[in-house]
């Protein structure tokens, strides 16, 4: 949903408001969100100035956290859960042993990359690895409960992912995706 000032601002807000119990340094956030540090510093300063985020200095590090006492925190968190939450939640719930790659594809990934259209009703997730199908579906159930929207997992082995004879794999590779593999970056 094109309602935030910038993609970087929305990513910063989403991470901090969806993890309100933690503080992060600007350097940690820049790396995690794949945002240039100077850009993140400007966005953080605006949000701290508005009282949405709180900061403190510890030694030479500036720590940021969500300011839950701000009356906008709860509705903003709810909005971020709907718009940016899937990236965070899918990344956490599908952080499975033997998952070589976890991608969000389909309408949610398209909206994330700016393709116009109605808000997605579900989240399509591709898991590449040698995993037990039950573990993948358990992760989908946990993510679905947190997001309040359908999560549709698809499992492929690394060999199937490399095989260009699989029509779904070809379709996913040709479409916008968001890589939520632990430490993964957004891809298109």
- Cα 8–chain centre separation: 12
Q: Could you give the CA distance from residue 144 to residue 123 in angstroms, rounded to a whole number?
A: 9
> Which of 73 and 83 is assigned the larger pLDDT?
73
**pTM of the prediction?**
0.76
Each residue of 113-140: pLDDT tens digit?
Answer: 888 888 889 999 999 999 999 999 999 9
Number of other residues whose CB lies within 10 A of the CB of residue 38:
10
Q: What is the pLDDT of residue 164?
A: 84
In the 8-state DSSP scheme, what is residue 118? S
Q: What is the pLDDT of residue 185?
A: 46
Each residue of 33-81: pLDDT tens digit?
Answer: 888 999 999 999 999 999 999 999 999 999 999 999 999 999 999 888 8
The pLDDT-based confidence of 2 (bands split at 50, 70, 90) is: low
């Amino acid at each position: 949903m094109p309602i935030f000032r910038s993609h970087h601002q929305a990513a910063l807000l989403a991470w901090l408001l969806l993890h309100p119990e933690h503080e992060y340094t600007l350097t940690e956030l820049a790396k995690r969100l794949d945002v240039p540090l100077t850009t993140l510093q400007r966005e953080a300063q605006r949000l701290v100035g508005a009282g949405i985020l709180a900061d403190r200095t510890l030694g030479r590090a500036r720590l940021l956290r969500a300011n839950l006492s701000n009356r906008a925190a709860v509705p903003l968190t709810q909005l971020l859960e709907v718009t940016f939450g899937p990236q965070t939640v899918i990344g956490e719930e599908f952080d499975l042993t033997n998952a070589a790659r976890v991608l969000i594809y389909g309408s949610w990934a398209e909206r994330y990359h700016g393709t116009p259209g109605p808000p997605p009703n579900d989240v399509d997730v591709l898991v590449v690895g040698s995993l037990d199908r039950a573990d993948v579906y358990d992760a989908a159930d946990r993510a679905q409960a947190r997001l309040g929207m359908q999560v549709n997992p698809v499992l492929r082995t690394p060999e199937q992912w490399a095989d260009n004879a699989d029509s779904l794999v070809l379709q996913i590779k040709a479409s916008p995706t968001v890589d939520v593999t632990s430490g993964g970056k957004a891809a298109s």
